[in-house]
């Protein structure tokens, strides 16, 4: 039988499974958490959980949660985390703290959509090219000043943005 329950708390047992404590139609119960492969997430207290028993051994499981804050459009995938906020009146609310959003227009939002990421390799190439152009111009300035009897000690510009490269995140 499938029923709606309220998620209360969880713990991870010695085998690495997340066990959920829920309050449902017949009182408190403990159930295994079922999730898609690769998904390790823990709900927040008070979420509506979909509680069920299975086959002949009636192993209790939670097969999902009802999300009331959905914004993804058709063909999109959005992952988010929530932060607990303790209100002055003693109540608790949860607000979104971070998200990733695979949009159906081919874009990907990582925590927001205000700024842009850059591709390291083209940026590095453009900066090295600009550095070379500036150094060439400094050489011309030095030569011009010398031909007029002046002196100019050219100090070549160097650039190194290798510390800005994030090896763990790759793009097209």
Q: How far apart (Å, rounded) are the C-alpha atoms in residues 41 and 49?
A: 14
Residue with tokens 């763990």: 168
Q: Looking at the domain assignment, is residue 169 inside a domain?
A: no
Q: Are residues 126 and 96 in the same domain?
A: no
Q: What is the percent of the chain where pLDDT is above 70? A: 98
Mean pLDDT of 86-111: 93
Model confidence band, residue 172 (pLDDT cutoffs 50, 70, 90): low
Task: Tell which of 49, 65, 81 closes a domain.
Answer: 65
The verdict on 160 and 126 lying in the same domain is: yes
Instruction: Note down the domain range covering 8.
Output: 2-65
Q: How many structural domains comprise the chain?
A: 3
Same domain as 134, residue 112 = no
- Identify the weakest region by mean pLDDT among 56-60, 75-79, 148-152: 56-60
- Quick one: average pLDDT of 104-119? 91
> Does one domain contain both 55 and 8?
yes
Identify whether the C-beta of residue 1 lies closer than 8 Å to the C-beta of residue 52: yes
21 in a structural domain? yes
Model-wide pTM > 0.85: no
Check residue 69 and give its pLDDT.
81
């Amino acid at each position: 039988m499938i029923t709606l329950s309220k998620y209360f708390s969880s713990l991870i047992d010695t085998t690495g499974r997340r066990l959920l404590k829920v309050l449902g139609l017949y009182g408190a119960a403990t159930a295994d958490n079922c999730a898609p492969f690769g998904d390790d997430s823990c709900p927040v207290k008070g979420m509506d959980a979909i509680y069920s028993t299975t086959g002949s051994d009636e192993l209790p499981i939670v097969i999902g949660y009802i999300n009331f804050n959905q914004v993804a459009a058709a063909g999109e995938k959005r992952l988010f985390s929530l932060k607990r906020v303790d209100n002055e009146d003693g109540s608790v609310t949860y607000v979104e703290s971070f998200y990733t959003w695979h949009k159906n227009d081919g874009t990907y939002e990582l925590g927001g959509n205000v700024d842009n990421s850059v591709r390291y390799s083209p940026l590095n190439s453009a900066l090295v090219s600009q550095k070379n152009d500036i150094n060439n111009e400094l050489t011309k300035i030095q030569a011009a000043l010398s031909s007029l009897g002046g002196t100019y000690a050219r100090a070549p510009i160097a650039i190194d943005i290798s510390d800005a490269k994030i090896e763990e995140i790759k793009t097209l």
